[in-house]
Amino acid sequence: MREAVARPGEEVVAVSEGQASGQASSAVTPPAGRPLLSLALASMMDAVDAHSGAVYLRAPGEPVLEMAVMAGLPRAFAAPWERVGLNAHVPVADAVRERRLVWVSGEEEMARSYPNIAMALPYPFALAAVPVATQDTVYGSVFVTWPGSHAHDLSEPERGLLTGACGRLALRLDRATQGGDPVGPEPDLLATPAASVTPGTLGSMEATRMVARLPYGLCSLDLHGRVSFANPAAAELLGVPVNGLLGVELWESVPWLNDPVYEDRYRAALISRHVTSFAALKPPGDWLSFRMYPGPDGLSVRISPARAVAEMGRSGRQPGDGGPSLMTLSQVVSLTGALTEAVGVRDVVRLVAGEIAPAVGSQAVALLGSRGGRLHVLGLRGYPDPQVVERFDGLPLRARTPGTRALTSGVPAFLRSREELERLYPAQPRMEDGMAAWAFLPLVASGRPVGVCVFAYAEPHPFPTEERAVLTSLSGLIALALGRALLYDVKHQVAHGLQAALLPPSLPSLPGIETAARYLPATQGMEIGGDFYDLVPAQEQAAAVIGDVQGHNVTAAGLMGQLRTAVRAYTAVGQAPEEVMRSTNRMLIDLGSDLFASCLYLRLDPAAGSAVMARAGHPPPLLRGPDGKVRVVEPAGGPLLGVDASAAYPGTGIALAPGTLLALYTDGLIESPGVDIEDSLADLAERLAETGDRPLDALADGLVRDSATARERLDDVALLLLRVPGD
């Protein structure tokens, strides 16, 4: 039988073992005006020995859960989740949507299932979220937490106590709502000092004298981190008088402790309920050791000189020399930003190897994925012989290796030495990769496994609990980046396949005309666009066309394919250049597309030494004469295709004497931020004059390579060169 515990001024709610299934009487209701949510939460936490918790209520008229009361920890710890969307992937929202108890057993499962929470709170703790709902109405949800030492599974009695208490709370909320007195937010429940204890004392004169005689510092912090007691030794070590410490957060009263890393240790102790320690440098050169002992009302802190650290400092070494250090908050923020910018899988591999691996002391990294029931090596860095790792590419997922196990089970594996690897996985081929310890971290994004990140170490590595928590939390970040990168790479392959299918695989041979062409996608986005070129052989006169559909995406590429097909069809039926342009313009308007296109069309007659040109808003071609001089050809033309259904595109004749070279291009070749387009065109003409005698393929490569947009292209580039051989 669990006895009821009554605090001063609180309702007594008795829960017996026989009521563990949640069938305790729902008739117990707090007297009018009593804090319903606070009492229910306190009773719930006491019943299951939880150390913190909160009640969320649905916001009126919004698909949002709002925190109504929190207990056991400062609300600031849960600040990112004070208001939670019902569709958010967090435990309290999942509990409401799915009408079930959500159990998170510890930091590893938190990192696997809720990586965003694990990144903000990378501490060992367990959590349960339970919906507060009647059969007809969902009022909200409750979460409670336990120290990381809680059993891996939530017991059936604990489940029954939580679900039963939340069911009773839902009935009380239902009666309050029907009675016209809906329940709202209440003051948070934080433990306060006993009434008989005066700030700055321990409750008795003798105890105070005893503590004052201790050679090391002692102080007490409440749940907000404020100092409620400090002995003289603590004040002397910190360099702040006792009255300057009391009632103030420790890191505010002691300037050299005002560092997020030290505040993080305080949070870790409160949330995990584990003894936590750190060393801090008191200027100019004294190291102090802080050891935090958590309790329900706050922390007891022991402060003493850190002799070992001080001796290292005097010998010129710094803490952490000779071993890996965990990532700081600034490193995590920097990494998050970098991974957000990662586009493809290669970017993710490069960032993980270049930024995360050095921070955690790893010497090599591999990213593994799966396809068709087999393991695939997505990328690796740092291995003396990469081929040793690449041997695992194509390994069936049913094979018993740490990589396949992490991928299929979602459970990380920390192998501290080669002996441990061979003992746990005797059937695996021997890993002759030059490494001595490994961390296999499953990468789970949006609830599905996307891969495994392997950190390899050149020496045996112990993987303490705190480091495992950090690595597991980081795996959530890597998983999100890798999931996006894999999706991008798939889209990228599809886009490039589409682009290759829409552009001519090779240029046909035209009698009396030498040809060469180049296409380069934009370097931003999907690297696909609407620029196109084509040569259309005909029985009497061939045709050349170049165009640019607005945009550089899949939509532009698809429309480009339609335009290219239309131009070919109108050419095949013998339409004149001006008619080809008019017909293509009407076709584009009939398609109802919001995109426009520029186009330049030539009907070539090399035997007669002439051509007829029609232009729709396209950059003018460059003509290099037999004498090597280059001029801009400005044919008459009309507006962009797709603008005006009645537009006309008159033809313009030009002479093509032997040795003449025509350069047709899209604006991506000459447009560059900060550069005047007239200057770019003049530069292109100058390079064409200087190098126009070269073979066409070499000339095309040079014009593209030496352009102002060679490295950073905001737009696609198409180039089509036509030369009439000299006599």
Question: In angstroms, rounded to a whole number, what is the distance separating the alpha carbons of residues 641 and 601?
Answer: 12
Report pLDDT digits (tens) over 502-561. Answer: 777 788 888 889 999 998 876 555 456 678 899 988 766 789 999 988 866 667 777 888
**pLDDT exceeds 90 at position 94:** yes
Q: Note whether 461 and 416 are within 8 A (CB).
A: yes
**pLDDT exceeds 70 at position 4:** no
Confidence band of 216 (pLDDT split at 50, 70, 90)? confident
Position with higher pLDDT, 25 vs 631: 631
**pLDDT exceeds 70 at position 712:** no
Question: In angstroms, rounded to a whole number, what is the distance separating the alpha carbons of residues 416 and 343?
Answer: 33
Report pLDDT digits (tens) over 426-446. Answer: 877 677 788 999 999 998 877
Position with higher pLDDT, 411 vs 544: 544
Report pLDDT digits (tens) over 169-200. Answer: 999 999 998 888 888 899 888 654 433 444 44
Q: Region 42-46: what's the mean pLDDT?
A: 92
Confidence band of 93 (pLDDT split at 50, 70, 90)? very high
- The pLDDT, as a whole number, for residue 210 is 61
Q: Region 487-514: what's the mean pLDDT?
A: 76
Per the prediction, the chain carries an average pLDDT of 81
- The pLDDT, as a whole number, for residue 727 is 65
- The pLDDT, as a whole number, for residue 170 is 94
Question: In angstroms, rounded to a whole number, what is the distance separating the alpha carbons of residues 274 and 361?
Answer: 25
- The pLDDT, as a whole number, for residue 541 is 78
- The pLDDT, as a whole number, for residue 648 is 93
Helix, strand, or coil here: 611? strand
pTM above 0.85, yes or no: no
User: How is residue 258 annotated by DSSP?
Assistant: -
Question: In angstroms, rounded to a whole number, what is the distance separating the alpha carbons of residues 436 and 429?
Answer: 15
Strands (E), 363-512: 364-371, 374-381, 413-415, 437-445, 448-457
Question: In angstroms, rounded to a whole number, what is the distance separating the alpha carbons of residues 606 and 514?
Answer: 11
**pLDDT exceeds 90 at position 44:** yes
- In the chain, the domains with their CATH numbers are 36-179 (3.30.450.40), 206-307 (3.30.450.20), 330-494 (3.30.450.40), 504-724 (3.60.40.10)
Report pLDDT digits (tens) over 574-609. Answer: 899 999 999 999 999 998 888 899 999 999 988 888
Spell out a b/e string for 379-396, using b for 16 or more CB atoms within 10 Å of the CB, else e.
bbbbbeebebbeebeebe
Q: Give CA separation, 690 vs 7, 287, 622, 683, in Å.
A: 93, 70, 14, 11
Q: Note whether 233 and 216 are within 8 A (CB).
A: yes
- The pLDDT, as a whole number, for residue 318 is 41
- The pLDDT, as a whole number, for residue 638 is 92
- The pLDDT, as a whole number, for residue 527 is 54
Q: Region 265-290: what's the mean pLDDT?
A: 86
The 3-state secondary structure of 294-343 reads EECCEEEEEEEECHHHHHHHHCCCCCCCCCCCCCCHHHHHHHHHHHHHCC
Q: Give CA separation, 309 vs 233, 238, 305, 461, 476, in Å.
A: 20, 17, 9, 22, 33
Q: Region 67-90: what's the mean pLDDT?
A: 87
Q: Give CA separation, 261 vs 9, 245, 264, 278, 290, in Å.
A: 39, 20, 5, 9, 13
Q: Region 606-629: what's the mean pLDDT?
A: 92
- The pLDDT, as a whole number, for residue 212 is 64
Confidence band of 15 (pLDDT split at 50, 70, 90)? very low
Assigned token pair, 420: 């441990």
Helix, strand, or coil here: 235? helix
Q: Residues with Cβ < 8 Å from 62, sequence gap 6 or more?
A: none
- The pLDDT, as a whole number, for residue 709 is 55
The percentage of the chain sitting over the pLDDT mark of 90, rounded to a whole number, equals: 31
> In terms of Cα–Cα distance, which of 222, 243, 242 is closest to 300?
222
Q: From the CA atom positions of the chain, what is the Rg in Å?
A: 36
- The pLDDT, as a whole number, for residue 320 is 37
- The pLDDT, as a whole number, for residue 552 is 63
- The pLDDT, as a whole number, for residue 337 is 60
**pLDDT exceeds 50 at position 7:** no
Question: In angstroms, rounded to a whole number, what is the distance separating the alpha carbons of residues 682 and 672?
Answer: 14
Strand pairing class (125-133; 374-381): unpaired
Report pLDDT digits (tens) over 125-150. Answer: 999 999 999 998 999 999 999 988 88
Position with higher pLDDT, 681 vs 432: 681
Q: Residues with Cβ < 8 Å from 353, sequence gap 6 or more?
A: 365, 381, 382
Report pLDDT digits (tens) over 299-334. Answer: 889 998 875 444 444 433 343 333 444 555 445 555
Would you call the peptide bond into 673 cis, given omega within 30 degrees of 0 as the criterion? no
Burial class, 61, CB count within 10 angstroms (exposed 0-12 / middle 13-18 / buried 19+): exposed
